[in-house]
Chain A
Amino acid sequence: MLIETRDLWKTYIMGMQELHALKGVNLQIEKAEYVAIMGPSGSGKSTLMNLIGCLDSPTRGEYYLNGESVSDMNDNELAKIRNKEIGFVFQTFNLLPRANSLHNVELPLIYSGIDTGTRREMASTALEQVELLEWAGHKPNELSGGQRQRVAVARALVNNPSLILADEPTGNLDTKTGLDIMKLFRRLNDRGNTLIVVTHDPEIAQFADRIIHIRDGEIEKEERRSGQVQDVH
């Protein structure tokens, strides 16, 4: 079991009011699964993603990643988990504008203290996997949206994380480019990477093997699409 949450709650205090973004979520995800978390905006799916991604801590409940209890880790331990276990892909790419593709991909490795030579090699390999090696020296503003997102995917891959977490990865891309990214995700999953895609778009969710519907901070229903591999042409 890669991910297990037990009765996960997240409560925000807005003035005098308590706002429950998550109300007791129980979730289990196996290694090498491809899962979509779907829900309308305000459903709590982003909050769930932040918790799974160790960007935030739950108000209540337990979260185990690789059997380790994450819910009572401190900031530094969470940062280490993000660095080693999780690769993020964001809707807005979140690349550093002044750094070229190679350097952007290198970033997580800098924080693991890996030496320059090894870092270059690992980053190049990751860029090769998303077919962007020849763009290594280009800065984000010299790349198309699809290319930027592929750089972000390479950055997510570079540390060989247990989990790749994508938040609306196609939200800022046109349909065709979005489909390319989804094909790339499919390939990564086929190679054994665990993928969680958070989206509000049913078409994007269809690429996953399992769809978890979330509404009002609770899991509404789950669909399994075992055995079915959708062709995208």
Chain B
Amino acid sequence: MRFGDLLRLSFEALRAHKLRTFLTVLGIVIGVTSVIAIISIVVGMNEKITSLINSMGTSTFTISKYGIEDYKSQEAYREARKRKNFKFRDALAIERDCELCEEVGAEAVTFRQLKYGSDKMNNVAIAGITSNFINMTEFEVAEGRVHSEFEQDRYAQVALIGDKIRRELYEGLDVVGRELKIGIHKYEIIGLAKPRGSMLGEDLDEFVLIPITTLLKNYGSNREIEIFIKAPSEEALAETIDQARVILRSRRHLDFQEEDDFAVTTAEEWLEFYGSVTGTIQVVAVAIPLIALVVAGIVVMNIMMVSVTERTREIGIRKSLGARKRHIMLQFLSEALMMSVFGGAIGIGLGILLAKALAGAGDLPFVISKLAILGGIFISTGVGVVFGLYPAMKGARLDPVDAMRFE
């Protein structure tokens, strides 16, 4: 039997029952669409978070009194809170004493009200940073600049704002040179950051950067700061971390046998942490639409069983005319496959559109991933074969004499 004949045969059979075929295909479409949409969003989210974390650079690490472990339980967090805060002078000490440290930066954060004229924004993240921050991340400035070391040393009242601040307070205006009130203090805007979009409903453009010295002076110096250190290379990472640790241990008067009362975290560890937090959610998110696909597969199987029973006589006739088991099996299998592959193709297209729509509506990133498309093709073909095989085999095994007698 020729391949073209087989396809024509299956196509004709499907065309003879348009509604039934349509409903079966619809089941596959729904299943594949949801799988593709979820995979596209999960993969997109992973890529975005990975790139965010990696924007810090793989040879950069952070030092803080909180480590990843301390975010994993409330008790651990409560314990970590009791530790001594790092001061800006700790960062300066590292910069002075750590030979391997290529760049040493620091950040302190507070949340304040912003004001421009009569417009206000509440609870905006204000980050006090060192001027070399821009060398250590892939942070991009759209207009103006970040404060200089000179300004930092002199507690300059200057700020660089995120794009969200511009949209809310300065719509239609040039921002550079304008005044911005953070709490009760006045600043001059010297720069605007490039928009970064949003992530899981959180706007990544809602921030203000000011010199760390200014922040500590204006809003209280007794606050935890985080230290960023850039190693000369990824290979030198471990050695650099050791150097910095030794300096901090001596500054914190830790005995030889005492453990660190602070944590060093690399980009890689942040990625692992993210993976451990979201891993289960991702598995569940992909598993639920897979159930829909299994249901669709059962529909295919059910329809193929009906089709085989309905056409028992036809099977008998075909067998009497020389059709082998293989021919009958292929005939029904290719019917099931045609429905599932066709449904799969539509599902891939709709899934991508759905992912795009969901991403737009819910501030989620998404990518058209090869994994999703290959997965869609593989899964829909798999559904066709797995759920079409039993009915096809049942048809192929029929005895020609009995089958022809079937009414």
Asked whether B12 lies within 8 Å of A96 as measured between CB atoms, the reply is no
A188 vs chain B, min Cβ distance (A)? 18
Q: Are B317 and A113 in contact (CB under 8 A)?
A: no
Q: Is B319 an interface residue, CB under 8 A from the partner?
A: yes
Q: Which residues of the other chain, A, contact B322 by a CB distance below 8 angstroms?
A: 79-80, 82-84, 108, 111-112
- Contacts A56-B401, A90-B404 given: A111-B321 contact, CB under 8 Å? yes
Enumerate chain A residues within 8 angstroms of B313, measured Cβ to Cβ.
94
**Separation in Å of the B179 CB from the closest CB of chain A?**
82
Q: Is the CB of B1 within 8 A of A113?
A: yes
Specify which chain B residues have a CB less than 8 angstroms from the CB of A80 in the assembled complex.
Answer: 322, 324
Chain A 18-53 near chain B by CB (<8 Å), digits 1 or 0: 000000000000000000000000000000001001
**Interface residues, chain B, with chain A CB atoms under 8 Å away:** 1-2, 4-5, 12, 16, 313-314, 316-327, 399-401, 404
Write the nearest CB–CB distance from B381 to chain A, whole angstroms.
25
Q: Knowing A98-B16, A111-B1 are in contact, say whether A76-B325 is a contact too (CB < 8 A).
A: yes
A75 at the interface (CB under 8 A from B): yes
A109 CB, min distance to chain B CBs, angstroms: 9
- Is the CB–CB distance between B320 and A55 below 8 Å? yes
> In whole Å, how far is B115's beta carbon from the nearest beta carbon of chain A?
78
- A89 and B227 CA atoms in complex are apart in Å by 92
* 17 chain-A/chain-B pairs, Cβ below 8 angstroms: A50-B401, A55-B320, A55-B401, A56-B399, A56-B401, A79-B322, A80-B322, A82-B320, A82-B321, A83-B323, A94-B320, A96-B314, A96-B317, A107-B317, A107-B318, A108-B322, A111-B324
Which of B1, B4, B324, B400 lies in contact with A76, CB distance below 8 A?
A: B324
Q: Which residue of the partner chain B has the closest CB to A81? A: B322
Inter-chain CA distance A155–B318, complex, in Å, is: 12
A88 touches B2 (CB 8 A): no
- Which residues does chain A contribute within 8 Å of B5, judged by CB atoms? 110
Chain A residues with CB below 8 A from B321, complex form: 82-83, 88, 107-108, 111, 155
Q: Residues of B contacting A75 with CB < 8 Å?
A: 324-325
**Among candidates A55, A84, A98, A113, residue contacting B12 with C-beta atoms closer than 8 Å:** A98
Contact for B400 among A55, A96, A113, CB less than 8 A: A55
Give B324's nearest chain A residue, CB to CB. A79
Q: How far apart are the CA atoms of A82 and B327 in the complex, in Å?
A: 14
Q: List CB contacts (< 8 Å) of A52-103 with chain B.
A: 53, 55-56, 75-76, 79-80, 82-84, 88, 90, 94-96, 98
Is B317 within 8 A of A115, CB to CB? no
- The CA of A116 and the CA of B325, in the complex, are separated in Å by 22
Closest to A90 in B: B404
Q: Give the size category of A's interface with B.
A: 20 to 34
Beyond A79-B323, A107-B317, A107-B318: 19 further Cβ-contacts under 8 Å? A50-B401, A55-B401, A75-B324, A76-B326, A82-B322, A83-B321, A88-B321, A94-B317, A95-B317, A96-B314, A108-B321, A110-B1, A111-B318, A111-B324, A111-B327, A112-B322, A113-B2, A115-B2, A116-B4
Q: Kindly list chain B residues whose C-beta atoms are within 8 Å of the C-beta of A76.
A: 324-326
Which residues of B are found within 8 Å of A79, using beta-carbon distances? 319, 322-325
Residues on the B chain within 8 Å of A94, using CB: 313, 316-317, 320, 404
Kindly identify, within residues 151 to 201 of chain A, every residue whose CB is under 8 Å from any CB belonging to chain B: 155
- A56–B402 Cα distance when bound, in Å, is 10
| CB-based contact A111/B320 at 8 Å | no
Residues in A with CB closer than 8 Å to B317 are: 94-96, 107
Give bound CA distance, A82 to B404, whole Å: 15
- Report chain B residues within 8 Å CB of A112: 322
Q: Return the chain A residue nearest B16 by Cβ.
A: A98
Complex alpha-carbon distance, A33 and B401, angstroms:
25
* Interfacial chain B residues near A53, Cβ < 8 Å: 320
Kindly report which residue of chain A lies nearest to residue B9, judged by CB atoms: A110
> Within the assembled complex, what's the spacing in Å between the Cα atoms of A121 and B366?
57
Q: Please name all residues of chain B whose beta carbon is closer than 8 Å to the beta carbon of A96 when the two chains form the complex.
A: 314, 317
Contacts of A84 in B (CB 8 A): 322
A90–B320 CA distance with the chains assembled, in angstroms? 11
CA distance in complex: A55, B403 (Å): 11
In the bound complex, what is the Cα–Cα distance between A83 and B324 (angstroms)? 9
Query: Whole-angstrom distance between the alpha carbons of A75 and B324 in the complex?
Result: 8
User: Whose C-beta in chain A lies nearest to the C-beta of B318?
Assistant: A107
Q: Measured between alpha carbons, how far is A49 from B5 in the docked complex, in Å?
A: 30
